[in-house]
Structure 1
Amino acid sequence: MSHPPPLTPQGATIVVESRNFNFSTQDSSATNPNASDSVRDSLVYSEKSELSRTGHTVVAVFLGVILLLGFISNFFVLLLFARFQVLRTPINLILLNISVSDMLVCIFGTPFSFAASLYGRWLIGDQGCKWYGFANTLFGIVSLVSLAVLSYERYSTILSYTKADPSDYKKAWLAIAGAWLYSLVWTMPPFFGWSSYGPEGPGTICSVQWHQRSSGNISYVTCLFIFCLLLPLLLMVICYGKILFFIRGVAKTNQLSAHRRETHVLVMVVSMVSCYLLCWMPYGVVALLATFGQVGLVGPTTSIVPSILAKSSTFLNPIIYILLNNQFYRCFLAFMSCGSEPTGSHTLCTLPSSRVTGPNGNSPCPRGAWYIPWYMQAPGQ
């Protein structure tokens, strides 16, 4: 008997037939009085989870494009890190962590769902499905948490009015380790009975079993939505909102090109938050509908679209967060022209907004000026 779709950051989708899978529900029925309801819901869903050959082909095309773009863009980011020493700063380690987690999805996730879509069925068995679901959920949450940590680091750097110490990597490594540990905390429970991993959507992908109606699964999906999707989003909105507020204060001065910088920061902030919402919020909403809505409300087609959007973050992240910022833009030009390594990250100083210096008084700009770090500057500034 096949299980239904789940809530996973990097989820994709597939159709699983009962003759191809024999996922046991013995554990849940032994511990949960509502297990029979969960089994019945799974059966109802499986009857509606058929996807046509054309549908599988369309999904395979989208996944193939995402796989190609995601691998190339993240590989190029890693290449820039290896090529240019100027990029190896503490805050850039967080960017590198995002790229690494996305690359791992491109290696251990998308190829399997792509192949499954080509054949119209899952290809690597019960245990392979469970480990696929675990690995892609893990990498996806690491990426989401790292995006939130990055927003906080940018916020704290700007509001401290000081240039970050390029030799202090301890805080960045702790943040990266914390992101992986946080993700493990939320992705290991299905192996110990709190929810489970299994086939999702039309059966060509595996993730958390968000269609099961047991109390344990409902609580797990709810916690996953709150602590791994909404919480990072809230932190991003608060941090980038405050950054934008202070940048707008700078733009009110008569400083030359201040308005241009404000516009760039606004576009950057809107792009970051919009990308997060576009890639992850549909998946989270569909997961909640499948968990709390009427049985069969979320069919294979409905679940495929948000799954593909979630996968698309693997190539959108490096474009928005890395390849379009000032420092990487300079390294990109140097790489393409086979030139020498560009100079280190620089600062822009403008007139102050409401405060003059940071608490330690150690500003890279003259007294009374306001520090804008390189990652909040437009390419060419």
Structure 2
Amino acid sequence: MIVSNVSLSGCAEVDGALCAGGAAEGQLRGTSYRTTLTPTGNLVVSVCLGFIGTFGLLNNLLVLVLFCRYKMLRSPINLLLINISISDLLVCVLGTPFSFAASTQGRWLIGDAGCVWYGFANSLFGIVSLISLAVLSYERYSTMMTPTEADSTNYCKVSLGIALSWVYSFIWTMPPLFGWSSYGPEGPGTTCSVNWKAKTTNNISYIICLFIFCLLLPFLVIMLCYGKLLCAIRQVSGINSSMSRKREQRVLFMVVIMVICYLLCWLPYGIMALLATFGPPGFVTPEASIIPSVFAKTSTVINPVIYVFMNKQFYRCFQGLLRCEPPRRGSSIKSSSRVATKAGRGQAVSGHRRTNHFPLMVASLGQPVTTVPQLGPFFEATNDVSKAPSSDTNKPVEVSLEAHFDV
């Protein structure tokens, strides 16, 4: 328990040791206690949490509305985005309101049992979101590497990934309820989480495992998978050099944004936890520890923007919802198309399109067929045929790839 964060009325009139003991006893009984933040500090934190809770709730609800209303969005890989939105929505509904109320009142309001529930629920939903991001990156990578066209109606693999994210999260958030570490007040006392400050072997071992398997491991998976995707883009760049720089810059920009936002949201919290665990007592002040906690909660607002509203399918449907009309049909949501051109010596350029993924083969006269890796949900193909191939058998059809994060 964080005894140093408690400020009980009347402590100035009694002995300091007795005051500290009374504070600890009051916490164990679940009585309310005041935080060490000033009224201005509580106001700033409450404004931030109110903003995060409101926009996180609206953003994720909008994602669910779009998914339910537009059938074209109900693809297997989009279910991973919905899983992320559901976990973020649950944080906004079951977690943020309690810390917001505690900040406005300057004290924790729902007692010790409520503190344990808050710590468990927020840890559970947060880890589900992190693991889902890792599963999403792996799904995109594996789709790109698949040599054959994937079945867009096969939900088995994605459903397994969603189940894995929840089971994995339960595995790592249940132990504090049964004695491996514990949940308790965090920072200035307006939030609750894992007990970062206990110096026992029991607590330290849990925090190390939590950091490695629930923060570092998902980050490594994301970096590895998106790094492979960028390598695939450079391979495809040889098909049409005029599009290569623009394509690489766009995808590189999106990957960098994803990684930076991941680090901004979760890395400060992980560093704070490690410093509180391994640093000297009092090294991480309650006032400083609230900042990483607020940053971690901003992921509920950022995730829908990056992974959904920058997705062209969802964005077109969002525009259609605002205009009360069917969404504009772009090439990324066409069900299928096929372009085939026969050349003089029997060679062809063929492209297979599908809703979310497509394999692409490019051939030109006098050259062997080159197979391009399947690019999966990131890329959109456009066929640029400047002249009819029947009139000139020596010119191959130009095929350009426009990269975007269209799932």
**Structure 1 and Structure 2 fold alike (TM over 0.5):** yes
Deviations 1:5-56 (A, max 9, x none): 9xxxxxxxx867565973449xxxxxxxxxxxxxxxxxxxx99x72111111
> Aligned equivalents of 2:306 and 2:405: distance in 1?
13
1:68 paired to 2:54: yes
Deviations 1:217-240 (A, max 9, x none): 000011000000000000000000
Tell me if structure 2 keeps the 8 A contact 1:4–1:209: no
- In structure 1, give the amino acid aligned to 2:166: W
- In structure 2, give the amino acid aligned to 1:267: F
Counterpart in the other structure of 1:129: 115
Tell me the SS of whatever aligns to 2:107.
Answer: coil
The structure-2 alpha-carbon separation of the partners of 1:223 and 1:16, relative to structure 1 and needing over 3 Å to count, comes to farther
- Structure 1 unpaired stretches of 5+: 6-13, 26-45, 350-355
Counterpart in the other structure of 1:345: 333
Tell me if structure 1 keeps the 8 A contact 2:3–2:24: no
Tell me if structure 2 keeps the 8 A contact 1:99–1:318: yes
Counterpart in the other structure of 1:365: 360
Tell me if structure 2 keeps the 8 A contact 1:327–1:375: no
More strand by share: 2
> Aligned equivalents of 1:333 and 1:173: distance in 2?
28
Tell me the SS of whatever aligns to 1:22.
Answer: helix
> Aligned equivalents of 2:25 and 2:263: distance in 1?
34
- In structure 1, give the amino acid aligned to 2:134: A
Tell me if structure 1 keeps the 8 A contact 2:276–2:283: yes
| Structure 1 counterpart of 2:307, from 321, 329, 334 | 321
Aligned residue-pair number = 340
Larger Rg: 2
Deviations 1:76-104 (A, max 9, x none): 11111011111111111011000000000
Identity %: 53
1:310 paired to 2:296: yes
Counterparts in 2 of 1:52-201, with a 5 A limit? 52-201=38-187
> 1:332 Cα shift?
1.9
| Structure 1 counterpart of 2:250, from 264, 269, 280 | 264
> 1:327 Cα shift?
1.6
> 1:251 Cα shift?
2.2
> 1:67 Cα shift?
0.9
The structure-2 alpha-carbon separation of the partners of 1:15 and 1:337, relative to structure 1 and needing over 3 Å to count, comes to farther
Counterpart in the other structure of 1:352: none
Tell me the SS of whatever aligns to 2:333.
Answer: coil
1:3 paired to 2:2: yes
Deviations 1:352-375 (A, max 9, x none): xxxx99xxxx96434545343344
Tell me if structure 1 keeps the 8 A contact 2:230–2:252: yes
> Aligned equivalents of 1:332 and 1:234: distance in 2?
32
The structure-2 alpha-carbon separation of the partners of 1:4 and 1:159, relative to structure 1 and needing over 3 Å to count, comes to farther
Tell me if structure 2 keeps the 8 A contact 1:186–1:224: yes
> Aligned equivalents of 1:186 and 1:4: distance in 2?
26
1:378 paired to 2:364: no
Question: So what's the TM-score if we normalise by structure 2?
Answer: 0.77
Tell me if structure 2 keeps the 8 A contact 1:199–1:209: yes
> 1:257 Cα shift?
3.0
Q: CA RMSD in A?
A: 2.8
Deviations 1:308-349 (A, max 9, x none): 100000010000111102221222222222222555735899
> Aligned equivalents of 1:167 and 1:146: distance in 2?
20
> Aligned equivalents of 1:163 and 1:256: distance in 2?
27
Tell me if structure 2 keeps the 8 A contact 1:134–1:187: yes
- Structure 2 unpaired stretches of 5+: 9-21, 339-349, 352-356, 363-369, 380-402
The structure-2 alpha-carbon separation of the partners of 1:247 and 1:16, relative to structure 1 and needing over 3 Å to count, comes to farther
Question: So what's the TM-score if we normalise by structure 1?
Answer: 0.82
Counterpart in the other structure of 1:41: none
1:210 paired to 2:196: yes
Tell me the SS of whatever aligns to 2:26.
Answer: coil
The structure-2 alpha-carbon separation of the partners of 1:198 and 1:333, relative to structure 1 and needing over 3 Å to count, comes to same
1:238 paired to 2:224: yes
